[in-house]
Chains A and B, each alone.
Chain A
Amino acid sequence: MTTIDSRPPYDVELQAVLALLGEQLPPTLTPEMIALMRSANVTAPIEELLAGRPIEHVERTIPGPEGAPDLLVSIFRRTDHSTAGPGIFHTHGGGMIIGDRFTGADVFLDWVETMDAVAVSVEYRLAPENPDPAPVEDCYAALVWTAEHADELGIDPTRLLIAGGSAGGGLAAGTALLARDRRGPALIGQCLMYPMIDDRNTTVSSHQYVGIGVWDRGSNDTGWDALLGDRRHGDEVSIYAAPARATDLSGLPPAFIDVGSAEVFRDEDVAYASAIWASGGQAELHVWPGAFHGFDLMAPQATLSVIARATRTAWVARILGV
């Protein structure tokens, strides 16, 4: 299949934002640009995000997967946190190749502040230096540690939610599958924000965004090539790396999936929700019309972003019972 030229129109407000952002970065991230993207200060300093919020930030070094290096996690909770509250285990985005545990933090910091949740965000190893299964195994190891240390962290272990956006959404879905198959920590829900879950890059939407928008087809190739190398497209790719390949999605916690109609991940994310339903599971799916990848983070004031965030937060509150 070649590039498809018909595409849903962008939301007017988001398109104007895209016009400005487009000048800062070309739509396609190539392997040569990984180093530059990592050195550029791409995520706002965490102090800036925490300024004015009654939230304390603690860093802990915890054991990694067996035979792998230790991991760094950041823990966020209200300064007045006293009784065990809901837990949010966060896996950050960045195409498997960039970003850090603070990327996208303002979304879960809102939940920490308003729902008195305790958030744990993990600094997993990035590809291509650390190909699959390093990232998802790091995430799983940190999830196990979080569940085992729930008391100490001030988390009610029966209310532990996993959440992540983009590559972090894919890692959250993969970690939830690992937890199911290894009879690991019980999760109360999985919040998958425009998750990156399909290495095959064969959907219609993956052919509609080539050289335009945010995280286009070429960027997706860069990310998946880095994670899977020669195994990509073959039969050896695990469902924990690319959850879209899973055929049995039963026995998973309720899922929340949101995605823009104007991005590469649209069709794989819609298909994932359908596969969950086909397996008898619960999923809430939102496709935001004319939204590009990561729209609510890049243009938080836009009407669609405000509505999408409120919708997501309402689901989290409902699942956590707060």
Chain B
Amino acid sequence: MQELVGRLTALDPEASESLKVIAYFDALVEGHAGLEVLLRGAAVLSGCGAGFRHTQPALAMAVDASGRRLPAPAAGEPGPAAPTHPLPGGGVVWLDRAGPAHANDAMVLERLAIGLAISIDRRAERMRDTDALERGALETLLDADEPSDARTAAARRLRLDTVPLAQIAASPASEASPAPREVVLTTSVGRVRARLVVAGTEPRVDGEPPTRTGIGVATPPTDLATSWRTALLALRMTAPREPLVRAEELGVVLLAAEAVAADPGRPAHPDVAALDRIAEATARGTESRGADALDLLDALARAESVRAAAALAGVHHSTMQARAADFCGVLGFDPRTPAGRVRLSDALRLHRLTTAQFD
């Protein structure tokens, strides 16, 4: 049959053909046409190029007279004399009309603007829906009690079925800014944000002060509950001088942390109990000799020497010397020896683990 019923060409420049314009755009909107298809409709009907710029979200596109998409730099602004129409919700649509306007230009622009606004709304709705579905899937993956087929389906929903390893990054809910593919979960230590990280992509820790973050061990996507559990332990062991802790770098401390976390009623190890007492004394104010004792202990655990620890903590060398000698008595061991430093470091981690709280 071919061209026997004619083809879709530009409208009559002189005569008003509003009904055609309306019918064409109505059909496109009804069929959920995308932005480029709507724009191409305007170009084909008007016989000249067309474009739009939308403010929020920022979107821009332009096509030439035959409906071909123009490269991004060309899609920005209408020419000074171009017929335009505002986009509901912010922005503008235009025709690249050289010379006097045609009879249907205003109607084409009006219908294009309406169509684009509807299409943009639908996109936003779809993205919200997608985010919600992804959040649901992530919650399923983080729940060790979910059956394995539910976790497999959730991994597929998150497009993780071909990803060998994934990780969870945990941050306090109040500190991290919202991002896609993350959920906020209420834990025994407060509200924590769990973010999905595909292994091999470096999680960002930015902001000032940096967001405290614990990175869980890398696991197959269906075993992300393990990564989440270890991420939360790592988060609980972050410190002002160590805002990012990776579960995989904790060594055997991870095993100790798992044992402690699994049994909250168990009496604290004497080393940890000593630190607990120091912290309580500081909180009560009975410890009144200047700098925070735990901060000094943290510096001692991290620095190579007492002198370096003093520099790290910002106190005089002699002050640190005197305090370190005092700590020997409270701790029952000397944190200035290599073995003592390691023992102190481990005890500090477990002390943080048991005292961390996030709101």
B-binding residues in A (CB < 8 A): 10, 12-13, 15-21, 23-25, 37, 42-44, 92-95, 98-99, 103-104, 165-166, 168, 214-215, 219, 293-294, 297-303
CB A23 to nearest CB in B, in angstroms, measures 8
A-binding residues in B (CB < 8 A): 1-8, 20, 23-28, 31-33, 36-37, 40-41, 43-44, 66-68
Return chain A residues, CB-CB under 8 Å to B1.
Answer: 93-95, 166, 214-215, 219, 293-294
CB A14 to nearest CB in B, in angstroms, measures 9
Q: Does the CB pair B44–A298 fall under 8 Å?
A: no
Task: Tell me whether A43 and B3 are in contact in the complex, defined as CB-CB below 8 angstroms, given that A13-B37, A16-B41 are known contacts.
Answer: yes
CB A45 to nearest CB in B, in angstroms, measures 12
Q: Does the CB pair A303–B5 fall under 8 Å?
A: no
Q: Measured between alpha carbons, how far is A215 from B2 in the docked complex, in Å?
A: 9
Return chain A residues, CB-CB under 8 Å to B44.
Answer: 301
Other A-B pairs beyond A104-B2, A214-B1, 7, CB < 8 Å: A24-B6, A42-B4, A43-B3, A94-B2, A95-B4, A294-B1, A302-B40
Return chain B residues, CB-CB under 8 Å to A103.
Answer: 2-4
17 contacts between A and B (CB under 8 A): A16-B27, A16-B28, A16-B31, A21-B5, A25-B5, A42-B6, A99-B4, A104-B2, A104-B3, A166-B2, A214-B1, A215-B1, A294-B2, A298-B3, A299-B7, A301-B44, A303-B37
Q: Measured between alpha carbons, how far is A18 from B5 in the docked complex, in Å?
A: 10
Return chain A residues, CB-CB under 8 Å to B40.
Answer: 13, 301-303
Task: Tell me whether A12 and B32 are in contact in the complex, defined as CB-CB below 8 angstroms, given that A19-B27, A303-B37 are known contacts.
Answer: yes
Q: Measured between alpha carbons, how far is A13 from B33 in the docked complex, in Å?
A: 7
Q: Does the CB pair B67–A301 fall under 8 Å?
A: yes
Q: Does the CB pair A19–B23 fall under 8 Å?
A: yes
CB A262 to nearest CB in B, in angstroms, measures 13
Return chain A residues, CB-CB under 8 Å to B37.
Answer: 12-13, 303
Main secondary structure of the interface of B (DSSP, over half): helix
CB B163 to nearest CB in A, in angstroms, measures 31
Q: Does the CB pair B7–A42 fall under 8 Å?
A: no
Q: Does the CB pair A13–B6 fall under 8 Å?
A: no
Return chain A residues, CB-CB under 8 Å to B8.
Answer: 17, 20-21, 298-299, 301
> Which single member of A42, A95, A215, A302 contacts B3 (CB below 8 Å)?
A42
Sorted nearest first, the 8 A-B pairs with minimum C-beta distance are A12-B31, A16-B27, A301-B67, A25-B5, A215-B1, A19-B27, A93-B2, A298-B7
CB A269 to nearest CB in B, in angstroms, measures 14
Q: Measured between alpha carbons, how far is A215 from B43 in the docked complex, in Å?
A: 27
Return chain B residues, CB-CB under 8 Å to A94.
Answer: 1-2, 4
Q: Does the CB pair B27–A297 fall under 8 Å?
A: no
Q: Measured between alpha carbons, how far is A20 from B7 in the docked complex, in Å?
A: 10
Q: Measured between alpha carbons, how far is A3 from B80 in the docked complex, in Å?
A: 55
Identity of the chain B residue whose Cβ is nearest the Cβ of A21 in the assembled complex = B5
Q: Measured between alpha carbons, how far is A168 from B4 in the docked complex, in Å?
A: 13
Most central of B24, B31, B37, B66 by chain A CB within 10 Å: B31
Q: Does the CB pair B31–A15 fall under 8 Å?
A: yes
Return chain B residues, CB-CB under 8 Å to A10.
Answer: 31
Return chain A residues, CB-CB under 8 Å to B25.
Answer: 16
Return chain A residues, CB-CB under 8 Å to B36.
Answer: 303
Q: Does the CB pair A16–B24 fall under 8 Å?
A: yes
> Which single member of B6, B26, B33, B67 contacts A298 (CB below 8 Å)?
B6
Return chain B residues, CB-CB under 8 Å to A20.
Answer: 8, 20, 23-24
Identity of the chain A residue whose Cβ is nearest the Cβ of B17 in the assembled complex = A20
Identity of the chain A residue whose Cβ is nearest the Cβ of B6 in the assembled complex = A24
Return chain B residues, CB-CB under 8 Å to A168.
Answer: 2
Return chain A residues, CB-CB under 8 Å to B23.
Answer: 19-20, 23
Return chain A residues, CB-CB under 8 Å to B26.
Answer: 19
Q: Measured between alpha carbons, how far is A103 from B43 in the docked complex, in Å?
A: 25
Q: Does the CB pair A12–B4 fall under 8 Å?
A: no
CB B108 to nearest CB in A, in angstroms, measures 13
Q: Does the CB pair A15–B27 fall under 8 Å?
A: yes
Return chain B residues, CB-CB under 8 Å to A166.
Answer: 1-2
Q: Measured between alpha carbons, how far is A92 from B20 in the docked complex, in Å?
A: 30
Q: Measured between alpha carbons, how far is A10 from B32 in the docked complex, in Å?
A: 12
Most central of B4, B26, B28, B67 by chain A CB within 10 Å: B4
Return chain B residues, CB-CB under 8 Å to A37.
Answer: 4
Return chain A residues, CB-CB under 8 Å to B28.
Answer: 12-13, 16
Q: Measured between alpha carbons, how far is A12 from B27 in the docked complex, in Å?
A: 8
Task: Tell me whether A98 and B4 are in contact in the complex, defined as CB-CB below 8 angstroms, given that A12-B32, A16-B33 are known contacts.
Answer: yes
Return chain B residues, CB-CB under 8 Å to A18.
Answer: 27
CB B72 to nearest CB in A, in angstroms, measures 19
Return chain A residues, CB-CB under 8 Å to B5.
Answer: 21, 24-25, 42, 214, 298
Most central of B5, B23, B26, B33 by chain A CB within 10 Å: B5
CB A9 to nearest CB in B, in angstroms, measures 8
Return chain B residues, CB-CB under 8 Å to A98.
Answer: 4
